[in-house]
Protein backbone atom coordinates (compact mmCIF):
# COMPACT_ATOMS: atom_id res chain seq x y z
CA UNK A 1 0.00 0.00 0.00
CA UNK A 2 2.80 2.45 0.93
CA UNK A 3 4.61 1.69 -2.33
CA UNK A 4 1.37 2.34 -4.26
CA UNK A 5 0.71 5.64 -2.48
CA UNK A 6 4.32 6.65 -3.06
CA UNK A 7 3.94 6.04 -6.76
CA UNK A 8 0.68 8.01 -6.83
CA UNK A 9 2.30 10.95 -5.01
CA UNK A 10 5.25 10.92 -7.42
CA UNK A 11 2.82 10.94 -10.36
CA UNK A 12 0.85 13.85 -8.90
CA UNK A 13 4.04 15.80 -8.32
CA UNK A 14 5.24 15.22 -11.89
CA UNK A 15 1.86 16.17 -13.35
CA UNK A 16 1.66 19.33 -11.23
CA UNK A 17 5.14 20.36 -12.40
CA UNK A 18 4.19 19.64 -16.01
CA UNK A 19 1.03 21.77 -15.75
CA UNK A 20 2.90 24.74 -14.36
CA UNK A 21 5.82 24.40 -16.75
CA UNK A 22 3.52 24.07 -19.77
CA UNK A 23 2.21 27.56 -19.10
CA UNK A 24 5.80 28.86 -18.74
CA UNK A 25 4.51 31.20 -16.05
CA UNK A 26 5.31 31.74 -12.40
CA UNK A 27 2.98 30.87 -9.54
CA UNK A 28 2.42 33.65 -6.99
CA UNK A 29 4.39 33.55 -3.73
CA UNK A 30 2.97 31.33 -1.01
CA UNK A 31 1.26 28.84 -3.36
CA UNK A 32 1.31 25.39 -1.64
CA UNK A 33 3.00 22.74 -3.74
CA UNK A 34 3.18 18.95 -3.35
CA UNK A 35 6.19 17.57 -1.52
CA UNK A 36 9.34 17.68 -3.61
CA UNK A 37 8.04 20.30 -6.04
CA UNK A 38 10.18 23.39 -6.53
CA UNK A 39 9.66 26.29 -8.88
CA UNK A 40 12.64 26.95 -11.11
CA UNK A 41 14.17 30.38 -10.73
CA UNK A 42 14.11 32.59 -13.77
CA UNK A 43 17.39 33.36 -15.50
CA UNK A 44 18.92 36.80 -15.22
CA UNK A 45 17.41 37.99 -18.49
CA UNK A 46 13.93 36.76 -17.61
CA UNK A 47 14.13 38.02 -14.03
CA UNK A 48 13.91 41.61 -15.22
CA UNK A 49 10.52 41.06 -16.87
CA UNK A 50 7.15 40.99 -15.05
CA UNK A 51 5.97 37.68 -13.64
CA UNK A 52 2.85 36.25 -15.21
CA UNK A 53 0.25 34.16 -13.47
CA UNK A 54 -0.79 30.73 -14.76
CA UNK A 55 -4.21 30.40 -16.33
CA UNK A 56 -7.09 29.67 -13.99
CA UNK A 57 -7.88 26.50 -15.90
CA UNK A 58 -4.32 25.26 -15.36
CA UNK A 59 -4.68 25.78 -11.62
CA UNK A 60 -8.00 23.90 -11.63
CA UNK A 61 -6.50 20.97 -13.54
CA UNK A 62 -3.53 20.72 -11.20
CA UNK A 63 -5.75 21.05 -8.12
CA UNK A 64 -8.09 18.37 -9.41
CA UNK A 65 -5.17 15.96 -9.75
CA UNK A 66 -4.21 16.70 -6.16
CA UNK A 67 -7.79 16.14 -5.01
CA UNK A 68 -7.92 12.82 -6.86
CA UNK A 69 -4.71 11.87 -5.07
CA UNK A 70 -6.31 12.75 -1.77
CA UNK A 71 -9.16 10.39 -2.57
CA UNK A 72 -6.63 7.56 -2.83
CA UNK A 73 -4.45 8.52 0.14
CA UNK A 74 -4.95 7.97 3.85
CA UNK A 75 -4.36 9.86 7.08
CA UNK A 76 -2.23 12.98 7.06
CA UNK A 77 -1.31 12.59 3.39
CA UNK A 78 -5.00 12.66 2.41
CA UNK A 79 -5.58 15.91 4.28
CA UNK A 80 -2.37 17.42 2.92
CA UNK A 81 -3.40 16.75 -0.67
CA UNK A 82 -6.92 18.07 -0.05
CA UNK A 83 -5.47 21.25 1.50
CA UNK A 84 -3.23 21.72 -1.54
CA UNK A 85 -6.20 21.16 -3.85
CA UNK A 86 -8.22 23.79 -1.96
CA UNK A 87 -5.33 26.23 -2.31
CA UNK A 88 -5.18 25.51 -6.05
CA UNK A 89 -8.89 26.13 -6.57
CA UNK A 90 -8.64 29.34 -4.53
CA UNK A 91 -5.71 30.47 -6.63
CA UNK A 92 -7.76 29.89 -9.78
CA UNK A 93 -10.53 32.08 -8.37
CA UNK A 94 -8.03 34.81 -7.50
CA UNK A 95 -6.91 34.78 -11.12
CA UNK A 96 -10.45 34.56 -12.52
CA UNK A 97 -13.29 35.08 -10.00
CA UNK A 98 -15.80 33.95 -12.66
CA UNK A 99 -14.13 30.56 -13.22
CA UNK A 100 -17.07 28.15 -12.99
CA UNK A 101 -14.90 25.06 -12.77
CA UNK A 102 -12.96 26.42 -9.79
CA UNK A 103 -16.12 27.47 -7.96
CA UNK A 104 -17.81 24.11 -8.51
CA UNK A 105 -14.77 21.97 -7.70
CA UNK A 106 -13.99 23.95 -4.55
CA UNK A 107 -17.58 23.80 -3.29
CA UNK A 108 -17.78 20.07 -4.01
CA UNK A 109 -14.55 19.46 -2.12
CA UNK A 110 -15.82 21.39 0.89
CA UNK A 111 -18.98 19.28 0.76
CA UNK A 112 -16.89 16.11 0.56
CA UNK A 113 -15.04 17.24 3.68
CA UNK A 114 -18.32 17.96 5.50
CA UNK A 115 -17.71 21.72 5.51
CA UNK A 116 -21.22 22.63 4.36
CA UNK A 117 -21.21 26.37 5.27
CA UNK A 118 -18.03 26.83 3.22
CA UNK A 119 -19.55 24.91 0.33
CA UNK A 120 -22.63 27.15 0.26
CA UNK A 121 -20.51 30.29 0.69
CA UNK A 122 -18.38 29.24 -2.28
CA UNK A 123 -21.43 28.74 -4.49
CA UNK A 124 -22.91 32.06 -3.37
CA UNK A 125 -19.67 33.93 -4.01
CA UNK A 126 -19.50 32.38 -7.46
CA UNK A 127 -23.00 33.62 -8.22
CA UNK A 128 -22.17 37.04 -6.80
CA UNK A 129 -19.25 37.22 -9.22
CA UNK A 130 -21.36 35.92 -12.12
CA UNK A 131 -25.14 35.84 -11.50
CA UNK A 132 -25.74 34.35 -14.95
CA UNK A 133 -23.55 31.29 -14.45
CA UNK A 134 -26.01 28.48 -15.21
CA UNK A 135 -23.52 25.75 -14.21
CA UNK A 136 -23.11 27.16 -10.70
CA UNK A 137 -26.88 27.60 -10.29
CA UNK A 138 -27.32 23.97 -11.31
CA UNK A 139 -24.66 22.70 -8.91
CA UNK A 140 -26.12 24.72 -6.05
CA UNK A 141 -29.51 23.24 -6.84
CA UNK A 142 -28.09 19.73 -6.73
CA UNK A 143 -26.36 20.52 -3.45
CA UNK A 144 -29.69 21.55 -1.88
CA UNK A 145 -31.31 18.46 -3.38
CA UNK A 146 -28.81 16.24 -1.58
CA UNK A 147 -29.80 17.99 1.64
CA UNK A 148 -33.48 17.37 0.77
CA UNK A 149 -34.07 21.12 0.72
CA UNK A 150 -36.22 20.65 -2.36
CA UNK A 151 -37.84 24.09 -2.57
CA UNK A 152 -34.43 25.77 -2.72
CA UNK A 153 -33.14 23.08 -5.06
CA UNK A 154 -36.01 23.67 -7.47
CA UNK A 155 -35.50 27.44 -7.32
CA UNK A 156 -31.84 27.10 -8.26
CA UNK A 157 -32.48 24.51 -10.97
CA UNK A 158 -35.16 26.74 -12.50
CA UNK A 159 -32.56 29.51 -12.67
CA UNK A 160 -30.13 27.20 -14.44
CA UNK A 161 -32.78 26.18 -16.99
CA UNK A 162 -33.82 29.79 -17.54
CA UNK A 163 -30.20 30.74 -18.30
CA UNK A 164 -29.55 27.69 -20.50
CA UNK A 165 -32.90 26.34 -21.75
CA UNK A 166 -31.35 23.84 -24.15
CA UNK A 167 -29.22 22.10 -21.56
CA UNK A 168 -30.62 18.57 -21.26
CA UNK A 169 -28.92 17.85 -17.95
CA UNK A 170 -30.36 20.91 -16.24
CA UNK A 171 -33.83 20.14 -17.60
CA UNK A 172 -33.70 16.51 -16.53
CA UNK A 173 -32.49 17.37 -13.04
CA UNK A 174 -35.30 19.89 -12.61
CA UNK A 175 -37.92 17.35 -13.71
CA UNK A 176 -36.59 14.67 -11.35
CA UNK A 177 -36.32 17.11 -8.46
CA UNK A 178 -39.91 18.26 -8.91
CA UNK A 179 -41.05 14.65 -8.78
CA UNK A 180 -38.83 13.83 -5.79
CA UNK A 181 -40.35 16.80 -3.97
CA UNK A 182 -43.81 15.28 -4.52
CA UNK A 183 -44.77 17.94 -7.05
CA UNK A 184 -45.85 15.30 -9.54
CA UNK A 185 -48.07 17.49 -11.73
CA UNK A 186 -45.33 20.08 -12.18
CA UNK A 187 -42.84 17.33 -12.93
CA UNK A 188 -45.17 15.89 -15.57
CA UNK A 189 -45.69 19.28 -17.20
CA UNK A 190 -41.95 19.90 -17.33
CA UNK A 191 -41.11 16.47 -18.75
CA UNK A 192 -43.98 16.73 -21.25
CA UNK A 193 -42.41 19.83 -22.77
CA UNK A 194 -39.19 17.87 -23.20
CA UNK A 195 -40.34 14.41 -24.24
CA UNK A 196 -44.09 14.46 -24.89
CA UNK A 197 -46.90 13.09 -22.69
CA UNK A 198 -46.14 9.34 -22.78
CA UNK A 199 -42.53 9.60 -21.70
CA UNK A 200 -43.39 12.34 -19.19
CA UNK A 201 -46.00 10.18 -17.46
CA UNK A 202 -43.56 7.27 -17.47
CA UNK A 203 -40.80 9.34 -15.81
CA UNK A 204 -43.14 10.48 -13.06
CA UNK A 205 -44.29 6.90 -12.56
CA UNK A 206 -40.68 5.75 -12.16
CA UNK A 207 -39.95 8.31 -9.45
CA UNK A 208 -43.22 7.57 -7.69
CA UNK A 209 -42.26 3.88 -7.59
CA UNK A 210 -38.89 4.85 -6.12
CA UNK A 211 -40.67 6.87 -3.41
CA UNK A 212 -43.12 4.10 -2.59
CA UNK A 213 -46.09 6.07 -3.98
CA UNK A 214 -47.70 3.14 -5.74
CA UNK A 215 -50.98 4.99 -6.34
CA UNK A 216 -49.17 7.75 -8.22
CA UNK A 217 -47.00 5.23 -10.04
CA UNK A 218 -49.99 3.26 -11.36
CA UNK A 219 -51.86 6.41 -12.40
CA UNK A 220 -48.99 7.79 -14.45
CA UNK A 221 -47.99 4.41 -15.89
CA UNK A 222 -51.59 3.93 -17.05
CA UNK A 223 -51.61 7.40 -18.60
CA UNK A 224 -48.30 6.68 -20.32
CA UNK A 225 -49.81 3.60 -21.95
CA UNK A 226 -52.92 5.53 -22.95
CA UNK A 227 -50.71 7.93 -24.90
CA UNK A 228 -48.42 5.19 -26.21
CA UNK A 229 -49.74 1.60 -25.97
CA UNK A 230 -46.37 0.33 -27.18
CA UNK A 231 -44.40 1.79 -24.28
CA UNK A 232 -43.26 -1.52 -22.81
CA UNK A 233 -41.41 0.08 -19.89
CA UNK A 234 -44.63 1.62 -18.58
CA UNK A 235 -46.44 -1.71 -18.95
CA UNK A 236 -43.70 -3.38 -16.90
CA UNK A 237 -44.30 -0.93 -14.05
CA UNK A 238 -47.94 -2.04 -13.95
CA UNK A 239 -47.21 -5.74 -14.29
CA UNK A 240 -44.31 -5.81 -11.78
CA UNK A 241 -45.39 -3.82 -8.70
CA UNK A 242 -42.08 -4.37 -6.92
CA UNK A 243 -39.79 -3.69 -9.88
CA UNK A 244 -37.58 -0.62 -9.91
CA UNK A 245 -35.14 -0.19 -12.75
CA UNK A 246 -31.52 0.71 -12.15
CA UNK A 247 -31.76 3.75 -14.42
CA UNK A 248 -34.15 5.59 -12.15
CA UNK A 249 -32.01 4.83 -9.12
CA UNK A 250 -29.06 6.39 -10.89
CA UNK A 251 -31.11 9.37 -12.08
CA UNK A 252 -32.49 10.10 -8.62
CA UNK A 253 -29.53 9.28 -6.39
CA UNK A 254 -28.76 12.98 -5.99
CA UNK A 255 -32.19 13.59 -4.49
CA UNK A 256 -32.98 10.33 -2.74
CA UNK A 257 -30.06 8.72 -0.98
CA UNK A 258 -28.69 11.35 1.40
CA UNK A 259 -29.64 10.86 5.06
For 254, the domain range is 184-259
Digit-coded pLDDT (tens) for 130-189: 999 999 999 999 999 999 999 999 999 999 999 999 999 999 999 999 999 999 999 999
Residue 120 within a domain:
no
Residue 229 within a domain:
yes
Residue 112 within a domain:
no
C-alpha to C-alpha distances, 166 to 154, 162, 172, 200, 237, nearest whole angstrom: 17, 9, 11, 17, 30
Residue 77 within a domain:
yes
Assign residue 252 the CATH number of its domain. Answer: 1.25.40
Residue 48 within a domain:
no
Boundary of a domain, candidates 77, 96, 115: 96
* Lowest-confidence segment of 7-11, 97-101, 164-168 by average pLDDT: 7-11
Half-sphere exposure of 128 (CA within 13 A, CB side): 7
Residue 45 within a domain:
no
pTM passes above 0.85: no
Digit-coded pLDDT (tens) for 16-50: 544 544 443 444 555 555 554 444 444 444 455 55
List Cβ neighbours of 65 (8 Å cut-off, separation of 6 or more). 12, 15, 16, 19
Cβ pair 195, 171 in contact under 8 A: no
Q: How confident is the model at residue 104 (pLDDT cuts 50, 70, 90)?
A: very high
Cβ pair 252, 180 in contact under 8 A: yes
Residue 8 within a domain:
yes
Q: How many domains does the chain have?
A: 2
Residue 108 within a domain:
no
Amino acid sequence: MRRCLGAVTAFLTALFMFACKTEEKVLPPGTPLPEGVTVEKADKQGAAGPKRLPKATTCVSAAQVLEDGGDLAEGAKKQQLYDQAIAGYRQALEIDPKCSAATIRLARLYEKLGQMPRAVATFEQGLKNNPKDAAVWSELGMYHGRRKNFDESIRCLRQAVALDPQNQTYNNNLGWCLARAGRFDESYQHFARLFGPARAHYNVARMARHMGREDVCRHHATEALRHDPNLADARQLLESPTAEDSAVRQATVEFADEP
